[in-house]
Amino acid sequence: MKMMRVCFTFLTALVVLTALAGRSSAVNLLLNGDLDNKPTGASGQTPNVWTLDEFKTNSGPTTDLITIENFTQVGVDTSPNDFHGFVKAFQGNNITGDYANLNMYQDVVGVPGLTYQFSGYIGAGSNYSGLLPGSPTQTLLTIEFDNDNNRANGVLSSVTTNVGPSLTPGTGLPGYNAQLYAVQGTAPAGTLFVRGVFSALNMFSQPNPDPSAFIDDFSMQTVVPEPATIGLTLVGLVGMIGLGRRRS
């Protein structure tokens, strides 16, 4: 009887924890992930809440490598009021090597041991420099795990996925063939912050039309175990309980 009570208690706890974990995984931890919240409510502004690191290889710090626009729809929202990020690769110069570099990132509170997924929609104009074979342009999604919210002094660990090889050129609607891309990693010991980073590095000008990239609908979520994994864990624990009963 005592063993049955232990089993029942364990099963109840497992169900509750699984339900709670599933609920938290559906929450976007980012603020302004859809990029619709702008400082003045108009096109041509920089993304609100997000931190921007913009520079050119030779010229140094710069601005205007990304603005929020609504001349096309990128991602899941196709309403006329939807805004997206317009990434201006044409600000860079391949002849002089003065490439345009953009890092756009945001920190959320992190918990060691949890797995996080950072995702977003990315589209490429037909002449985006990242589409050229052998191009130095890199289009990246990165998760960084940190013990402070200062990216400049290093991170505990990071995971990066290069989405460039998967980009498909598009012209105009619907959303420059934007697709959902993601990267995920598990927070190591000491993690206090998790940082989602979109990077477009070593960009340069190409002929018209559309020498740009387009981004929207970013999300940071925790990742819960697959149901099959939970089931296998449950079977294993029940087997251990049965073995304990036989030994007693």
Residue 248 has a pLDDT of: 52
pTM over 0.95: no
Q: What is the pLDDT along the chain (248 residues), one digit of tens a residue?
A: 544 444 444 434 443 344 444 444 679 999 999 999 877 767 789 999 999 999 999 999 999 999 999 888 788 877 777 899 999 999 999 999 999 999 999 999 999 999 999 999 999 999 999 999 999 999 999 999 999 999 999 999 999 999 999 998 876 655 688 999 999 999 999 999 999 999 999 999 999 989 999 999 999 999 987 554 444 444 444 444 454 454 45
Long-range contacts made by residues 13-20, C-beta under 8 angstroms, separation at least 24? 14/230, 14/234, 18/224, 18/230
Q: Where are the domains positioned within the chain?
A: 28-227
Contacts of 178 (CB under 8 A, 6+ apart): 74, 75, 121, 122, 123, 170, 214, 215, 216
CATH architecture of the domain 28-227 equals Sandwich (2.60)
Burial of 55 (0-12, 13-18, 19+ CB in 10 A): middle
Type of residue numbered 117: Q
